[in-house]
Structures are given as C-alpha cells and as structure tokens.
Amino acid sequence: MDKGDMVPTPGVSSDTPGFDAVVVGAGPAGSAAALALARAGRSVVLVERGPFPGSKNVYGGVVYGRVLDEVVPEWWNEVPVERWVVRRSTMMMTGSQSVSVDYRSAAWGEVPYNGMTTLRSRFDNWLATKAVEAGAQLVTSTVATGLLRDAHGRIVGVRTDRDRGELRANVVVACDGVNSFLAKEAGLMPPAEASHHTLGVKEVLDLPGHVIDERFGLRRSEGVDIEMLGCTRGIPGGGFLYTNSDTVSLGVVLSLPHLAEAKVRPEELIADLKNHPSVAPYLRGATLREYAAHLIPEGGYDTMPTMVTDGMLVAGDAAAMTLAAGLWLEGVNFAIGSGLAAGRAVDRAIAAGDCSAKGLASYRSDLEGQFVLADHKRFRKAPALVLSERIQQRYPGLICDLVDGMFTVTNPVPKPGGVRLTRSVAAKHGVKLRQLAADTVRALKVFG
C-alpha cells in the first residue's frame, strides 16, 4: 500500500499509547485542529485517507486568508498561492446574453490581501505540514472506518483500515468531509439529505499565464473570480471561473435533487458554459488538465449537525460549514476557523478533565462568537432565497433583457421609458412587479 507521497507516515498499531486527540481528515479543518492541539502541547494524530493531504479535495477555488493570521504570521509570504484575486465579477446570463457587476480593488492585490486562488493538493498539504511541524503525527493512506466506544458507549477513538489500526484518544475530532461517516455513526447527523447538497463539477484548463493576464486584464500574480447565475438550464445553482497561475478553473454547482430530476449530465452543463459567447473567448485554445467533482453541503446554518457529543466534535464540511449564500461563496476559511476552535476546545476539555459533551460545549459558543457561525447565522435564509425559482430561472434573463432594452438602439422606434420597459420585460419573464418588490424586500431582510 502507498504510504504517502509527500509526508512520512509513521506506523500505527494498538501498541501506540492513547493520544490526547485523533483528528480524522487532513483537510483545512483537520489540519487546523491538529495544529491548535499540537501547539497547546497535546499529543495528536491526524489521519488522512488519501495518499497526501488534499488528494481527495476539490473546491472552486478561492481561499479567504485572514483566518490564517492565527496560523502563521505573514502567511502570504509562504502560502502556495496561484493568484491574488483583485477582480470579482458577478455575471447574470441567458444562453446568449450576460450582465456583469464587476468590482476591482487595488487593495485586494496588497498585503494582507482578500482572496487567493490556490489548488487543494498544494494548500491542504501546506497546512498539514504546519501541523506536523508543530508536533502532530500525520498518518496518510488510512481510512477511519468507525468509532471506538467504551463500555458506557462513550467515544474513545477510531478504528482504521490498517493492521492493528485502532487509535485511542480522549477526543475524536471528525473533519471527515461532506459525507462524514463518523458524524452519522455518532448520531450527530441525519441520513444524507440530497436537498441540502449541491454537486460541484470542475475543469482545470491549461492556459499560459501571459495569455490569462491579457485576456482577463491582469498583471502577473493578480487573479479574477467570476461567479455566474443563469447558466445551468434552470437547475438551481451557478457557474464559476477562477484564474490560477497557468490554468483556469471553470465549473458549475448544481442542486442535487434538481440535477437528478433534470436528467442532464453534469459535464454537458460545463460544455454549455464553455460555449457561452461571454465565456468562450476567455478559454480559446485551453486544454483540459483535470476534471473533478465533489459535493458541497449548502444547506446552511439550519441544516448543520449537532457539533458535540461525548468524546467527539465535528468541524468543516462535516459540520456543513460552507457559506453558499449567492454573493458569498466561502468554505475553506470556515473549515480552518472551526478546526482551530475545535482544537482549542479539546485542549480546554482535557485540561479540565472533562471530555464529555458538556466539557466540549465551549466549541459551539466559541464558534457562535466569531465569524464561523455568526456569518452562517446571519445568512441562514440565504440558501433558500438564492436557490429559489425566480432568482434562478427568471431574474437573470429579466435583468439581461432590461439592459438590452436600455441600450439597444431601436431607431426609428423611440426609446421606451423605464417604467414601461420594466413592466414589459417583467411580463415577458412571468414576473409580477409585486413579486419583484416582495423579492427585493426579502433579499434586504436575508442579506441586511
């Protein structure tokens, strides 16, 4: 069996004395938890099922880095960044039109930056290496296959698929991703609910760096983030395009039950997007480097699992901590924030000699008091709004036709007035002005 491509893998056996904590999953949440624990002087083993950290992970991808201030001072000097996002564009589109709201900031290209494009095989490995340097023991190519419980039913570690591979610990930190088998086994999460998940499919396309610079109006190390609405044949979701150093990441995110119902294959929607007249010119001549897919837990605050039980807590995607609130699309920052908080909570619980749910409860209150849960709570109604029928299927076309009506010169026919134009365009798209007003109020409430 492969013992890990990038990080040395120590042996695992039942002879190994118990750890203070076993962290399952060396993604951003798990590595952050292991790092916090190791820095607190706790013994921690970090179990990763892939051959190296990041090998099972896919995202859009932008990481918002300020959460790393707590991890490494001046992290921007060493993080494996592709490009710093200085341009963020929201594109509303139909099959042949698009309207973009395009923001560009010089400040986003300077320390401490805002968002960065990076690839998970590099970023996750970098963060795991920080945990290892702090003293965590990383074990790759190892699946945590189930929970170990004592006679009272309390969780006391995990089983792995290694020979004699039981790992005993005071606390298990489950950072095992969107499908979290450990959270389900612990009874913290109901059975998988398709409606709380989206499928992300992505193509990474080779395109020389200087071509990316020219096509997107960038200087080296500057990047762009384009989010798209109205490009998924009515399936709730959206599209994205991010520039990396010498590649472009392009894909779509699709509501699972609606994708299933539509009987459309995901890669056909990517093909649609690549052929769109507003997107195709950016990609001319680009070749496919890697195709990928991953689920996203998009249900938001109200669909999060119970986060703490006796001897275990849950962080990152396993706790549904992605903010897919339309205008904001974040996840890695929440994973890191929740992982750090989990590590701190476990350290406090061990110090107090109480690793029960009660002893670990400070995890939740810590998260509520900072961005991790505060942001999710603020935008708890956003997923339902953003994925609603009018936002998804009617407004992109309505907005495109409004702009078309304003700027298409129809001589000798006189220009329509704004009110008449709005009325006729809304009617064409089956939207009543009353609904438009109600949705505006709702959006102000959800995002306000």
Partner 1 sequence: MSAAGGVPGSGHEVPGGTWRGISFEDRMATVEFRVGERAHITVDSEVCRSCTTKACVTACPANLFAPTSGGGILFNYEECFECGTCYMVCNHEGAITWTYPDGGLGVVFHQG
Q: Which is nearer to partner 1, 266 or 405 (CB)?
A: 266
Q: Which segments of 217-331 does DSSP mark as H helices, in order?
A: 256-262, 266-275, 280-283
Out of 31, 98, 114, 160, point to the residue binding partner 1 (CB under 8 A).
Answer: 160
Query: How far is 296 from 428, CA to CA, in rounded Å?
Result: 34
Contact region with partner 1 (CB under 8 A), list: 51-59, 85-93, 365-373, 409-417: 51-59
Q: Which is nearer to partner 1, 207 or 228 (CB)?
A: 207
Q: Is the dihedral of CA 29, 293, 5, 123 positive or negative?
A: negative
Is residue 83 involved in binding partner 1 (CB under 8 A)?
A: no
Q: Which is nearer to partner 1, 59 or 64 (CB)?
A: 59
Contact between 33 and 345 under an 8 Å Cβ cutoff? The reply is: no
Query: How far is 58 from 223, CA to CA, in rounded Å?
Result: 19
Is residue 170 involved in binding partner 1 (CB under 8 A)?
A: no
397-418 b/e (C-beta count within 10 Å ≥ 16 → b): bbbbbbeebeeeeeeeeeeeee
Min dist. Cβ of residue 116 to partner 1 (A) = 15
Q: Running DSSP on this structure, what letter comes out for residue 319?
A: G
Out of 154, 159, 289, 390, point to the residue binding partner 1 (CB under 8 A).
Answer: 289
How many residues bind partner 1, per CB under 8 A? 69
Contact region with partner 1 (CB under 8 A), list: 177-185, 343-351, 373-381, 397-405: 177-185
Q: Which is nearer to partner 1, 335 or 399 (CB)?
A: 335
Q: Which two tokens mark 97? A: 């039109």
Is residue 120 involved in binding partner 1 (CB under 8 A)?
A: yes
Q: Which is nearer to partner 1, 140 or 243 (CB)?
A: 140
Min dist. Cβ of residue 277 to partner 1 (A) = 10
Out of 293, 374, 427, 441, point to the residue binding partner 1 (CB under 8 A).
Answer: 293
Q: Which is nearer to partner 1, 192 or 351 (CB)?
A: 192
Query: How far is 445 from 448, CA to CA, in rounded Å?
Result: 5
Q: Which is nearer to partner 1, 293 or 374 (CB)?
A: 293
Q: Cα torsion for 51, 288, 328, 234, to the nearest 10°?
A: -120
Residues 251-280 that bind partner 1 (CB under 8 A): 256-257, 259-267, 271, 274-275, 280
Out of 31, 247, 322, 333, point to the residue binding partner 1 (CB under 8 A).
Answer: 247
Can you state the percent helix, strand and coil of the chain, rounding each to 5? 40, 25, 40
Is residue 218 involved in binding partner 1 (CB under 8 A)?
A: no
Is residue 119 involved in binding partner 1 (CB under 8 A)?
A: yes
Q: Which is nearer to partner 1, 97 or 140 (CB)?
A: 140
Contact region with partner 1 (CB under 8 A), list: 13-21, 36-44, 119-127, 420-428: 119-127
According to DSSP, the residues that pair with 169 across neighbouring strands are: 19
Is residue 142 involved in binding partner 1 (CB under 8 A)?
A: yes
Out of 69, 102, 161, 368, point to the residue binding partner 1 (CB under 8 A).
Answer: 161
Min dist. Cβ of residue 9 to partner 1 (A) = 9
Residue with tokens 């490494």: 72
Q: Kindly tell me the number of DSSP H helices and DSSP E strands found in the chain.
A: 15, 19
Is residue 159 involved in binding partner 1 (CB under 8 A)?
A: no
Peptide bond into 412 cis (omega under 30): yes
Residues 404-433 that bind partner 1 (CB under 8 A): none
Min dist. Cβ of residue 1 to partner 1 (A) = 5
Greatest CA span in the chain, whole angstroms? 88
Q: Which is nearer to partner 1, 74 or 193 (CB)?
A: 193
Q: Which is nearer to partner 1, 146 or 418 (CB)?
A: 146
Does residue 220 sit in helix, strand or coil? coil
Does residue 232 sit in helix, strand or coil? coil
Q: Which is nearer to partner 1, 177 or 397 (CB)?
A: 177
| 37-43, long-range: CB < 8 A, 24+ apart | 37/136, 37/343, 37/346, 37/347, 38/131, 38/134, 38/135, 38/136, 39/134, 39/135, 40/343, 40/344, 40/347, 42/346, 42/347, 42/350, 43/19, 43/137
Which one, of 227, 237, 226, lies nearest residue 386 by Cα?
237
The footprint of partner 1 (CB under 8 A) covers 1-4, 49-51, 54-59, 119-121, 140-143, 160-162, 178-179, 181, 192-194, 197, 199, 201-202, 204, 207-208, 210-211, 214, 247, 249, 256-257, 259-267, 271, 274-275, 280, 283-295
